[in-house]
Amino acid sequence: MTIREMQQVLDARFLYGEELADLDAQFVFSADMMSDVLAYCGKCSVLITGLCNPQVVRTAEMLDIVCIIFVRGKLPDENMLALARGKSIAVLATEHYMFTACGILYENGLRGGA
Amino acid sequence: MSEQLTFTYSIDGDDFTRAGEASSSVKNKLKMLGVSSEAIRKVAIAMYEGEINMVIHADGGTIDVSVSDDDITMVLADKGPGIPDIDKAMQEGYSTAREEVRSLGFGAGMGLPNMKRFTDEMQIDTVLGEGTTITMKVHL
């Protein structure tokens, strides 16, 4: 599923990275604890989280995540978006709660990677 | 690569938002050196957890990263409070981090276990009241 398709099914907004919209992903990890993301993300290349601070982008960078999806209407500040731009990590924001966002993506064929 | 390369970083203990900059720099350098992506990932995760720990618990410190033909060695040294019980600290879920740190997404008691999980060798030398030095190696 491409980042564009994820954006559409989640009614999400691109905060950065429309030019990355054609990147394809199969595996997704979701958590608010970044240590859990670091421990268990495995081969996932998309991160769904409701945590909103610069360490989310740093964590994504360490794991070669290509897209961060913020749930529950969380909006990263300009500092976080600048970090994401510097690392070419697409950033989406959706109003859906985490459970719902995960369910929608699962229904559309994405899976957890661990 | 025949000679050993070493990079040294000073970690600022005051600014949580900048934690991870050293790990990010090392990740980029290893990529440029042509190190395998699997090894880079292990180094990046382990060093990043260590860097975060230094900021959370020890008011910063220094990190030396050496790259040889055989391995990548990371030495993280701080002058923090030391670790009273290493066995406990190595248990997943055991944490002494403040609530404020947890709200930032860390302090879930996964830091040291993650550092061990993603490295091939890890040694902790700690003295209460004086500081902690953690040496980690990832084999190439």
Domains of chain A: 3-109 (3.40.1390.20)
Report yes or no: B93 at the A interface, CB cutoff 8 Å. no
pLDDT in tens, chain B (140 residues): 567 899 999 999 878 888 999 999 999 999 999 999 999 999 999 999 999 999 989 999 999 999 999 999 999 999 999 999 999 999 988 988 888 888 889 888 889 999 999 999 999 999 999 999 999 999 99
Structure tokens at A30: 């979701």
List the domains of chain B with CATH numbers.
5-139 (3.30.565.10)
Listed in sequence order, the DSSP H helices in B58-139 are 86-89, 99-102, 111-117
Taking residues A20-40, report their average pLDDT. Answer: 95
The confidence score (pLDDT) of residue B100 equals 81
The confidence score (pLDDT) of residue B108 equals 84
Q: CB–CB of A5/A94 below 8 Å?
A: no
CA distance B2 to chain A (A): 27
Choose, out of A40, A43, A62, A88, the residue to mutate when testing the contact with B (most B CBs < 10 Å). A62
Mean pLDDT across chain A = 96
How many angstroms separate the Cα of B126 from the Cα of each of A92, B70, B77?
A: 42, 27, 10
Report yes or no: A81 at the B interface, CB cutoff 8 Å. no
Q: How does residue A113 score in pLDDT terms, banded at 50, 70 and 90?
A: confident
Contact B20 A62 (CB under 8 A): yes
Instruction: Tell whether the model's pLDDT for residue A31 goes beyond 70.
Output: yes
Closest CB from B16, B48, B108 relative to A36? B108
* Distance from the Cα of residue B34 to its chain's centroid: 22
Taking residues A55-64, report their average pLDDT. Answer: 96
The confidence score (pLDDT) of residue B4 equals 85
The confidence score (pLDDT) of residue A22 equals 97
Q: How does residue A107 score in pLDDT terms, banded at 50, 70 and 90?
A: very high
The confidence score (pLDDT) of residue B15 equals 84
How many Å from the N-terminal Cα to the C-terminal Cα in chain B? 12
Pairwise CA distance, residues B133 & B80, whole Å:
10
Q: Rounded to 5 degrees, what angle do the CA atoms B118, A46, A30 make?
A: 75
Task: Report percent pLDDT > 70 for chain A.
Answer: 99
Q: What is the 3-state secondary structure (H, E, C) of chain A?
A: CEHHHHHHHCCCEEEECHHHCCCECCEEEECCCHHHHHHHCCCCCEEEECCCCHHHHHHHHHCCCCEEEECCCCCCCHHHHHHHHHCCCEEEECCCCHHHHHHHHHHCCCEECC
